[in-house]
Every structure is written in structure tokens, then in C-alpha cells.
Structure 1
Amino acid sequence: MKKISLFILFVFSISILANAQTQKQAKPSKKNTPVHKQTVVSKPTEQKADGQRVEISTSYGVMVVRLYNETPLHRDNFIKLVKQGFYDSLLFHRVIKSFMIQGGDPVSKTADSNAMLGSGDVGYKIPAEINDKLYHKRGALAAARDNNPQKMSSGCQFYIVQGKTYTGKEMEAIINNRNLTNKQGILYSMYQTDTVQAALSALQNLGDQDRIRKFMDELAVVADKEYKKQYPNAETVNMNQVQTYMEFGGAPHLDGGYTVFGELEKGWEVLDKIAAAETRPGDRPVKDIRMKMRLIK
């Protein structure tokens, strides 16, 4: 019973954050202007055309990706694996049209046609190198990962975004939902700490519901401050990125959650062909699509 009532209070605190977010949406500040009104401009620094290129050959054709120097850990790891021939004969084992194509599972090299793939790895993770200027536009090369609070990347699995285009209204909803989800995640992490749990248990034993509610209200305020500290630019709309998603496409809901470490330069038609491949349950292509990689200038 105590756990249930504490959970209800936690949900109540979540609603406080949600209500605060809704109020901000109702009266947008200069830092949270609806994206269909292009009054907020935050022009990102354009990526220079330098960086190591990697050629990815498949039965559908050849793609060329450029690795970003802004993500050196991911860049160097990818280069190392390509040099080792690690990716040769591996599959694009997960393909979702209008979303992305994923590969790099070492198990896929010798897996039979009915095997469920996606859990293979190299035994290490890469620290996140998430950068607001590197985002999930169409053609983005990014690192896959499992669910971990540090957002550390898989040591070998990657995906290339095909994505789709979005309207201004859709982009506004995605941005607001992402901000709210991040706030809720911080509040939940605080709620789970031993210190907070001990304080709540003590108040629960006293039976003082008013003090418990006050405590949870205060926790929500602290969580909101921590959110602003961790995501200082979260509510600043980058109109250049928004325009890219509206005109060129991508997967904006992934921004801030995964490390983007490169982009497609050639082979757009190959990306589209692979993304359109017939799949079985689990999004694995019916016909195996193998890859071979090499470094190029």
C-alpha cells in the first residue's frame, strides 16, 4: 500500500513537469517558439568536407560515408574495425523503410536464415559523443546501442538513416515530447536514489501526506533545474535542422539519444533500395544483404 501511494505521488510529480511543459507550449518564449514560425534561428556550423571516407559495397551497389572528426572515439573505432576487415560479409540485419538500415552484428556472418540478430557485439562500448550539431538527418551514420543511462554506443553496430520528411507541426510535437521525456527521466532517476527513497519512507511512516506532496513538489523543481543544466539548449529551436527535416528528411526523434558520427555522401539510391527490401518478422531482410568495407580517400 505504501509503495502504491508513493508511486501515485511520483506520477503526480510527473504531471507537474508535464503541466509546466504544456504551459510553455501554450505561451512560447523566445527559446521555445513553434517551429512553423521561423522566428528563432540558431545556425549550426556546417560540417567541413574533411574526414575519413569509407566505401560500403553491397549487392545493391556502393555507398560512401564520411566520418566526422568531431566524434574521434567513434571515428577511430570504426576505422580500426574496417582495417581489420571486421565488417566484411556481415549483414544489414535490420531494415525499416522510411527509418533506417542497421548492420554490424558479428553473429550475422554465419547466422542461418531464421536466426534473430542484433545482440552480437565486440565486448566493449564506446562513450557517447552526442553533439547537438550532428543530428539524424537523412543519410546520418550513427551508432546503435542497448538501453543504458550513459547512452554508450555499441562497439560495432551502426545504422544509416533513411527517414522521412516532417511538417512544422510534427517537428514541434517531436521537440516538445523529447524535452518532456528528458525531464521525466531525470525526475525518475532522482526518485530512485536511496536518499530520496529513505526520505519518502520516513515521511510515509509518519503518515504526513501533505509533507510527502511538498517533498515531491520540491523534487520536481530540483529535477527541472537539473534538466536545464544537462540540456542547456534543449528549448532553443534550431531552424536549420528543422528545415532539413522538413525538406530533406531524417529521424529527429533519435536526436540526443544516439551518437551520430558520420554521413552518407554517395549511394543514396542504394540506401533507398536496401531500406525497401522485403523483410520478415523482426525486420530482417528475406534475402541476405551482405557488406564489404574499405577505407578510401
Structure 2
Amino acid sequence: MKFTPLLTLVILWFVQTAAVQTQPFGLIETPQGEIYIRLFDETPKHRDSFIQLAEAGYWDSLTFDRVIPNFVAQGGCPDTEEGFNDPEYLLEPEIVRGITHVYGAVGAGRDDNPDKLSARCQFYIVQNKNGLHRLDGDYTVFGQVIKGMDVVDKIVFEKRDDTDVPLTPITLKVKIIQLNKSEIDKLLGS
């Protein structure tokens, strides 16, 4: 097959553009290290909410406020009722078949409301190596840790009180970074 010069230029542009296209990733900086999160396109409301709150610096004064070995590291709770009652802070569930609570899954916290509405301010990372599949279908999973589970493992084993709050606050700084395929490959060491 012979390509015209214009078609050849279009194909080259497309290949080059595809190589540099970026997608948003969450980056959580903690005193224990960095956690990189792939945000799922399949859960657009939760993905976009996470991006919006991160870009607004919402979590930058908060902590991982609940850490339980072989369960989760949970963060982002402002310790106010608004997070669970104010409609501005609630999201309809986006429970997607095939996206489950595996090791490193990032989910949206919620209270026991019957509509399974997510508290957009609160997220958790599954630390159980076998996953937490009893949560599947009840909580929205909107991301996956791609690097930094060693950091999550450290966080859940911090000394904590009898309500699972770390004795030494584990601060958060959450950012959104744009990565292209080669940057992702480099990050993952592939």
C-alpha cells in the first residue's frame, strides 16, 4: 500500500500525538513516601471529583485518619458532618462490574446510607493482599495504586489508638500529575 505525502504526515502526527498523550494520575505525598494512583475512566464522576478536590488542595491539611492492617488506609475525613450529609459532598455510586476491591484498589468512603452515596472527600486504599471482595458492589472503586503499596503497607502498621487513628498524624498532600505512556513505563520500571 502506498501512502500519499499528506496521509504519511497525518499518520506520523497521529503516532507522535498518541505517544505523548497524557492522562491524569493521583500522587499522594506522605512522610512515609509517595503513592501513585491510576484513576479509572469507567468511574468519571469519582475520577473528576478526586481531580477537582486534589487541584483545590482539599486534602493538603488532612491525614490518613484510619489505618487497619490487612484492611485499609483511609484518608481525607474532615471530621465534619458535611462530608456525609451535604449533597455537594455526595456522589451517586459508580459500581462497575469487573472493577473490584483488589490489593491497592482505591475506593470512595461512605456511611451506611441505603443509596450507597459516596462521600467525595473520603477515600481508602485496600491493603489486604487477598483483596476485600466483601465490599464489592457496595462501594465505588475509582482507582488503583500503580506504585507505592510499600508506602501503604508502612502506613497501616503505624502505631494507632483503639479507634485505629495513627498516634502520629500521617499527613497528605494530594496532587494530580499528567503522565504519558513512556513516563508511566519509566515509573513502573518497564
Matching residue of 2:39: 67
Does the 8 Å CA contact 1:51/1:68 hold for their aligned counterparts?
no
Task: Report the secondary structure of 1:129's partner residue.
Answer: coil
SS in 1 for 2:160: coil
Deviations 1:162-219 (A, max 9, x none): 013xxxxxxxxxxxxxxxxxxxxxxxxxxxxxxxxxxxxxxxxxxxxxxxxxxxxxxx
Distance 1:158 1:132 in 2: 20
Find the counterpart in structure 2 of residue 54 from structure 1: 26
CA–CA distance in structure 2, aligned partners of residues 280 and 120 of structure 1: 25
TM-score using structure 2 length: 0.77
- Change beyond 3 A, Cα 1:100–1:262: same
Amino acid at match of 1:141: V
Shift of 1:260: 0.2
Question: Does residue 98 of structure 2 align to residue 133 of structure 1?
Answer: yes
Q: How does 1:197-208 map to 2 (within 5 A)?
A: none
Q: d(CA) in 1 for partners of 2:149 and 2:23?
A: 19
User: How many angstroms apart in 2 are the aligned matches of 1:52 and 1:260?
Assistant: 16
Larger Rg: 1
Instruction: Note the C-alpha offset of 1:267.
Output: 0.7
Q: For 1:130-182, what per-residue CA distance to the aligned partner results, in whole angstroms no more than 9, with x for missing partners?
A: 01211000000000001111111002101000013xxxxxxxxxxxxxxxxxx
Partner residue of 1:85? 57
Q: CA RMSD in A?
A: 1.5
**Could you tell me the percent identity over the aligned residues?**
44
Partner Cα separation in structure 2 for residue 262 and residue 51 of structure 1 = 13
3-state secondary structure, aligned to 2:60: coil
Structure 1 runs (4+) greater than 6 angstroms displaced: none
Aligned partner of residue 87 in structure 1, secondary structure: helix
Q: What are the equivalent positions in structure 2 for 1:100-119 lying under 5 Å apart?
A: 100-107=72-79
**Distance between the aligned counterparts of 1:68 and 1:51, measured in 2?**
10
Residue 295 (1) aligns with residue 176 (2): yes
Aligned match of 1:280: 161
Aligned to 1:189: none
Q: Counterparts in 2 of 1:153-168, with a 5 A limit?
A: 153-164=118-129
1:81 counterpart SS class:
helix
TM-score by length of 1: 0.50
The structure that is strand-richer by fraction is 2
* Residue in 1 that maps onto 2:137: 256
Q: Kindly state the Cα deviation for residue 120 of structure 1 after the two structures are TM-superposed.
A: 5.8
Match in the other structure for 2:83: 121
Contact 1:105 1:119 in 2 (8 A): no
Instruction: Name the count of aligned residue pairs.
Output: 154
SS in 1 for 2:170: coil
- 1:29-67 Cα deviation digits (max 9, x unpaired): xxxxxxxxxxxxxxxxxxxxx852011000000000011
Over 3 Å counting, the alpha-carbon distance change for 1:97 and 1:67 in structure 2 is same
Q: How far apart, CA to CA, are the structure 1 residues paired with 2:158 and 2:151?
A: 11
Q: Secondary structure at the match of 2:73?
A: strand
> Which of the two has greater helix per residue?
1
Paired letter, 2:45: L
Q: Secondary structure at the match of 2:34?
A: strand
d(CA) in 1 for partners of 2:175, 2:29: 9
Aligned counterparts of 2:109 and 2:81: Cα–Cα separation in 1: 11
